[in-house]
Each structure stands twice: as structure tokens, then as C-alpha cells.
Chains A and B, each alone.
Chain A
Amino acid sequence: MTTYGTLLNHSLNIIHSEKIMNLPYFKNILIYFMLIAFVIAGYCFSLLAWSSFPLNMEQVCGYLFAFNGNSIEQQILATIRAPRVFTGLMIGANLAVAGVLMQGLTRNPLASPSVLGINAGAACLMALSSIGVVLISDLPSILVASLGGIVSGALVMLLGGFFSARPHPLKLVLAGVAINALLVSITRTAVILADDKAYSVINWLAGSISNSDWQQWQNLWPTSLIGLLMAIYVARNLNLLALGNDLAIGLGLSISMTRLVSCLSIVLLSASSVAVAGPIGFVGMLVPHIAKKLVGHNFFLLIPASALLGAALITWADAFSRSIAFPAETPVGVITALIGTPCFVLLAIKSKQS
């Protein structure tokens, strides 16, 4: 009887696994196509929409395939809109992948660069360096931002008990919230003491890509690319880590190595984004959850899907942020916070008791 039962179970398993093998394979390709289409649509929409100049698809095609320097519309596209859209795409991908890595590393559904204080740390040190604090004001901005991200991230991990024997997910998040509050107040103090033109800084602190140009894009893409490649490199390790620390060690994984590479990648990705656009929140927390619903928990699929989704989210959010007070600009970080915080509330309610 039991042998018959196990046999039945076994055959059921085979049928089930075949289903997993075939159908989702097709499904994943479809999902990737849809995500790419979503990104391209966001790209075109963000290039064209809410411009003080009437722009249309014809000029986008002209700009892409037969650039004509005499056409004012194509010049606008080339010098104002295109860098902005590219920066948005890159930053979205960066933050989303950083979020995936953090959630994989801490096995905590609420983890993200903004919740665990990395964005705030990078922004704080950037603000301090921009008001001319000695030592750090001479360094390049990406280095300053990375330094801030590393310090605040390490502080949150340490105080949140991530390295203790039994790390508790809520403690980590609450420590992140507290450090965030501290860093934001230091940033505000520094900025107000430095000068009273603090209004632009409120804008920057909310996260905005409206001032991006090709120069910033040049600073952004190399570090982002390194970060993304490192993320793909640790995907296999994170898959193993998802089985639990003990099992992962048993399967020959070096936990400290995995942590080091992913932390490095997280810091590179979020610091380069903050250096260009200020701390844009909640993309890193929200996108991995949606991507998980779409492609499952395999990090090889999850990381590219999150990158695409994050890129699309930021470009669409940026396009809509222009519409709110057109022709004035609204920082895109405000929009992502408005979308992201309700999801944070839902996750906080729903995330399992550990």
C-alpha cells in the first residue's frame, strides 16, 4: 500500500514538474517580452509627454535613426529629454536590483535601500560634502555617496542585529527607520545652516531626475553596469542562500563572500543613483515583490525582470510627475513614495510573523 502510495506520489511529482518545466518557460519569455515592451513604451512616452514644445513620434524616429541637428525638436530630444530618460531607466534598474539583493540577503520582505538607510546615508554625506565639510568635499560625488551608504548600511545592519545569532527581520527594519530619521535630520540641519536657499534641497531630497544631462549619465552608467554584473554574479549564491544559512554552507557556499559581493553591489547601485538623483524611495522595496509574482523566486530570472520593471516604473513615474504641476516639475521621488508607501503598509501588515 505504501509503495503504491509513494509511486503515485512520485508520478504526480513528475507530472507536476513537467508542468513547471514547460508552461512557465513559455510564460517567462512572454513576461520578459511584455516587460521590454513596457520599458520601450515608457521610454517613448517619457520622451514625448508633457513638453513645453510639441513633440511627436516622427521626431523621435528622426532623432534615433536620422539625426538632424537643425531641427529644434530633435535638439530638445537629444540634449534634454534623452539623458533624462536614460538616467531614469538606469536609476530604476539600479534601485530595483539593489532591492532584490537586499531582500535576498536579509531574507526580509521589507528590506530595500531606502528602508535600511542606505539612500539616506548617501544623501546625508552628499549634503555634507556639498556644504563644504573638510575632507569629504574634495572627493568625487560617487565616492562620497558610496561612503555614506556603506557607513549607514553597516550601522543599520549592526544595530538591527543582522549579525547576531538569530536575526529578527522587524528589528532590522525598525533600526533602519530610526537611522533614517536621524540621517534626514542631520541632512536638513546641515542644509539649513549652510544657506537659506533650502527649497531646492527639499526638492533634491525628495529625489528628482529633472536636471540630468549627459555628463551625469557618463558618471552613472559605468558604476551601475559593474553593480548589475556583480548582482548577476551572486544570483546563484543567493538562490542557495534562500535555502537557509546551514543548507547553503553544506552545499559549499561561502556566506561571507556572498554577503560581501552583494553588499558591494548594493552600495554601488544605490550610491550611484543617489549621487545623480537624490534618494528615490520605495522602488527598491516595491519592484522585487511584483517581479516575484511574475517570474518566481529564481534570482537568475528575478534580477533582470526587476531591473526592467524598475526602469519602466521610474520612467513612467517621471513622465506623470511632469503632468502634476505642468509646466513646473514635481520630483519623481514624491510620486514613487505615494505609490510605494501604501504597499509598505500592506507588506508590514501581511509579512509573516517569524
Chain B
Amino acid sequence: MSSMKLLSLPIMLLFIGMLSLSFGAYDLSVKEITWTLFQGGKFDFVINQYRLPRLILAVGVGAGLGLSGALVQGVIRNPLASPDLMGISAGAGLAATTLLVTYPDAPLFMLPVSAVIGGLAAAAIILAIAYNSRPTPTRLALIGIAISAFLSSAIDFLMIINPIEINTAMVWLTGSLWGRNWTQVPFIWCTLAIMLPFAFWLAWRLDVMGLGEESATSLGINPSKVQLLALLSAVILASISVSVCGTISFVGLLAPHLARMLFGHNHKALLPSAALLGALMVLIADILARSIHPPLELPAGVLTALIGAPYFVFLLQRYKGW
């Protein structure tokens, strides 16, 4: 039953991917799309150079964010934890924008590298605070949001004192897939290719960790090692996603929650389904962003926030551990 449900997600992804190729400033039919994909033709640029890379990037980025959120929530056992609420995304974004502003001619591969460094630094800061003051889950969320706010105000500052094109600014302020092309595809998909198997390796260990640290140790698991590895991979996934398309907020929070509702708490099903749901969310947000008012384009991050923020309020209402 569960595997059937899990299978339905990729099918939905395929279907919505098709929609993503057909919608836009110029609507295309399914026949035209398949023709163009295999043979090229007059829509070659629109499909193969513009919509297809965006589709692939949206799926990759969403999967990265969803997986990262599931890992963070699995380790921290905090329903309000997610890479963007903990300042990891903002840290990665700040490092990436700093690089863009100070060395505009830096080689392309430096962007993900600097994003990962920024994400790791932000994660280190919040973990140091968490380690020292042992906050409750809600307080940790608040501290994360505060750090996030600081880092995003720094991004704001960089964007405003270096006036640039509005779409570029929107990418880094709210997250958008505007102007992304094939060059960014290898970064996110290579990361996913490494991290997905690794997440499966972590899956049953995270399940065992759920029994409590003592039981986990007696079952032959080193809890701090698993925690560290899972957090590290979560930070890398989130940072690389941010380096591709900015901070698309609330996906890392929403996807794991949705996955848990649909597939329960078993990490073997939870991790892949969170990744798939994240991919679906970013893809749908990107489609809407492009097709609400073409040719104008909204940032995808704005649309995810429109769904994510009310859901966060809903979580607060339901949360009982004050």
C-alpha cells in the first residue's frame, strides 16, 4: 500500500513536469513537446534551452530542500526545524551573494562551494548556541529565525548597495528559477546523486535514534556520529540548492511534514517521499510563477511562502509542547 502511494508521487511529478513544459508565455501541446524533445524543431529553444533545464533544476532543488528538511527534523526531533528556519539557507545565500558582489568574475563552481561554506558557518553558529543554552524546540526555532533575519538583512544590504537587475535581486532575496539554465544542472544533481544513497544509509539509523540515545547505543549506533553526518548532509543539500536558485522558503519545512502525514515516520519511506514532495512543490511554484501573468515572472519563493506561512501558523496552533 505504502509503496503504491510512493509510486504515485513520481507519476505525479512526470505529469506536472509535462505541464511545466507546456505552460508559459506560449502554450504548447503535448505533441509539440514530445516532437521537440526528440527531434528539435522550431520550439527547440523554448523547450530544450529554457523550459527543460528549469524543470530539471526545479525538481533537483525541491528534492534537495525536501530531503534536507527531513534529515534536519529527523536529527533535531523538532517539528519547527528546517534548513530555512534555522538560518542555513540564509547563510548559504549570504555567502553566495557576497561572492557574486565581490568577485563577479569568479569561476562558476565557486558559487556552490561558497554557499556550502556559508551554510556550514550558519549551522555551526546555531548549533553552538543550541549546545550552550539547550533551548526548547520553539526557542530554537526563534533563535534560528532571528539569525536568518540577520543574514537576510545582510543580503538585502548587499543587494541594495550594489544596484543590479531586479530579477537577479529577486533570485537572491526570495528564490527564483529565473534565468537558470543547463550550467547549474550538474551541481545540484551530482550532489543529489551522492546524497540520496547516503540518506538511505542513514535512514534506519535515524529510525533507531528515534528510540532514544541509550537504545540506539545498545543497538550498535553511535548517536553523535549519525547526528553529525545527517546534519552535514542536510546543510550541504540545502546550501547547494540555495546556490542554484536562492532561498526558496518553507519547502524544507513543509515537504517533510506532508511526507510524514502521508507515509508515517519510517525514514526509509519518509526521506524519498519528502524529496519527491519537495520537488513537486518547487515545480508547481515555478509553473505558477511563470504562468500567472506572462511574460512577467514572479519569484517562486514568494509562492511557496504564500502556502508555507499559513501552514507554519497552523503548526503553531497544533503544537502543544510550550
Instruction: Assess whether B302 is in contact with A189, with CB atoms less than 8 Å apart.
Output: yes
Contact A192 B296 (CB under 8 A): yes
The answer for the CA separation of A196 and B299 in the assembled complex, in Å, is 13
Give the interface segment out of A74-82, A167-175, A304-312.
A167-175
A198 to chain B, nearest CB (A): 5
Asked whether any CB of chain A lies closer than 8 Å to the CB of B215, the reply is no
B contact residues around A325 at 8 Å (CB): 161
* A175-B316 in contact given A192-B298, A199-B166 (Cβ < 8 Å): yes
Q: Is the CB of A348 within 8 A of B146?
A: yes
Determine the chain B residues whose CB is within 8 A of the CB of A328 once the complex forms. 161, 163
Q: Is A348 within 8 A of B139, CB to CB? A: yes
Pick the residue among A181, A334, A347 that contacts B160 (CB under 8 A). Answer: A334
Question: In the complex the two chains form, is B316's CB within 8 Å of A159's CB?
Answer: yes
* Residue in B174, B298, B308, B317 whose beta carbon sits within 8 Å of that of A193 in the complex: B298
Contact A198 B322 (CB under 8 A): no
Would you call the interface of chain A mostly helix, strand, loop, or mixed? helix
Which of these, B143, B154, B249, B302, contacts A338 with CB under 8 Å? B154
| B window 141-185: CB within 8 A of A | 141-143, 145-147, 149-150, 153-154, 156-157, 159-161, 163, 166, 169-170, 173-174
Contact, CB under 8 Å: B160 / A203: yes
**B37 interface residue, CB < 8 Å from A?**
no
Whether a CB of chain B sits under 8 angstroms from the CB of A331 is yes
**B197 on the interface (CB 8 Å rule)?**
no
**Chain B binding site: helix, strand, loop or mixed by DSSP?**
helix
B157 touches A338 (CB 8 A): yes
The reply on A165 being an interface residue by CB < 8 A is no
B166 touches A196 (CB 8 A): yes
Task: Say how far A69's CB is from chain B's closest CB, in angstroms.
Answer: 36
Pair B139/A181 contact, Cβ less than 8 Å:
no
Against B, the Cβ 8 Å flags (1 = close, 0 = not) of A225-259 are 00000000000000000000000000000000000
Question: Is the C-beta of A30 less than 8 angstroms from some C-beta in chain B?
Answer: no
Question: Is the beta-carbon distance between A174 and B302 smaller than 8 angstroms?
Answer: no
With A188-B174, A202-B169 known to touch, is A182 a contact of B145 (CB < 8 Å)? no
Contact at B249–A348, with CB atoms within 8 Å?
no
Interface flags, B278-322, vs A, CB<8A=1, else 0: 000000000000001100111101110110111011001100001
Query: Is B138 on the interface with A (CB-CB < 8 A)?
Result: yes
Closest CB in chain A relative to B254 CB, distance in Å = 12
User: Across the interface, do A206 and B156 meet the contact criterion of CB distance under 8 Å?
Assistant: yes
Q: Tell me the residues in window 107-145 of chain B with beta carbons closer than 8 Å to chain A beta carbons.
A: 129, 133, 135-136, 138-139, 141-143, 145
Known contacts A181-B309, A334-B156; is-contact A353 B316 (Cβ 8 Å) = no
Determine whether A349 belongs to the interface, using a CB cutoff of 8 Å to chain B: yes
Q: How far is the CB of B306 from chain A (nearest CB, A)?
A: 5
Q: Does A9 contact B (CB under 8 A)?
A: no
Task: Say whether B298 contacts A168, CB under 8 Å.
Answer: no
Q: Does A154 contact B (CB under 8 A)?
A: no
**Residues 290-334 of chain A, each 1 if its beta carbon lies under 8 Å from chain B, else 0:** 000000000000000000000000000000000011001011001
Distance between Cα atoms of A188 and B298 in the complex (Å) = 8
Interface check A341, CB cutoff 8 A: yes
Which residues of A in the span 173-190 have a Cβ within 8 Å of any Cβ on B? 173-175, 177-179, 181-182, 184-186, 188-189
Verify B174–A185 contact, CB threshold 8 A.
yes
Q: Is A159 a contact partner of B143 (Cβ separation < 8 A)?
A: no
Chain B, interface size category, equals: 35 or more
B312 touches A168 (CB 8 A): no
Q: Which residues of A contact B150 (CB under 8 A)?
A: 341-342, 344-345
B305 touches A185 (CB 8 A): yes
Of B133, B136, B299, B305, the contact of A181 (CB 8 Å cutoff): B305
The answer to whether B153 touches A341, judged by C-beta atoms less than 8 angstroms apart, is: yes
Give the residues in chain B near A55, CB-CB below 8 Å: none
Q: A342-B150, A349-B133 are in contact. Are A173 and B169 (CB under 8 A)?
A: no
In angstroms, Cα B225 to Cα A99, docked, is 44
Shortest distance between the CB of B116 and any CB in chain A (Å): 23
Q: Nearest chain-A residue to B319 (Cβ)? A: A171
A345 and B154 contact, Cβ closer than 8 Å, known pairs A174-B141, A175-B316: no
A49 at the interface (CB under 8 A from B): no
Best-buried of B80, B136, B166, B313 by chain A (most CB within 10 Å): B313
Q: Which of A174, A188, A324 contacts B142 (CB 8 A)?
A: A174
Asked if A337 CB lies within 8 Å of chain B CBs, one says: yes
CB A346 to nearest CB in B, in angstroms, measures: 9
Residue of B nearest to A183 (CB): B309
Q: Are B143 and A345 in contact (CB under 8 A)?
A: yes
B85 CB, nearest partner CB in chain A, Å = 9
**B166 contacts across to A, CB distance below 8 A:** 196, 198-199, 202
Chain B minimum-CB-distance residue to A192: B298
Please determine whether B309 and A185 come into contact, CB atoms closer than 8 angstroms. yes
- Asked whether A174 and B298 contact (CB < 8 A) given A193-B292, A345-B147, the answer is no
- List the A side residues contacting B312 at CB < 8 Å: 174, 178, 181
B residues less than 8 Å from A338 (CB atoms)? 153-154, 157
Instruction: For A174, list chain B residues within 8 Å (CB).
Output: 80, 138, 141-142, 145, 312, 316
- Closest A-B pairs by Cβ, 8 of them: A341-B150, A337-B153, A182-B309, A185-B305, A185-B302, A178-B312, A345-B146, A348-B146
A–B Cβ pairs within 8 angstroms, 20 of them = A170-B322, A171-B138, A171-B322, A173-B142, A181-B305, A189-B302, A189-B303, A192-B296, A198-B170, A199-B169, A202-B166, A203-B160, A206-B160, A330-B160, A334-B153, A337-B157, A344-B150, A345-B146, A348-B142, A349-B133
| A178-B310, A178-B312, A328-B161 known, 6 other contacts, Cβ within 8 Å | A178-B313, A182-B306, A188-B174, A206-B160, A328-B163, A349-B143
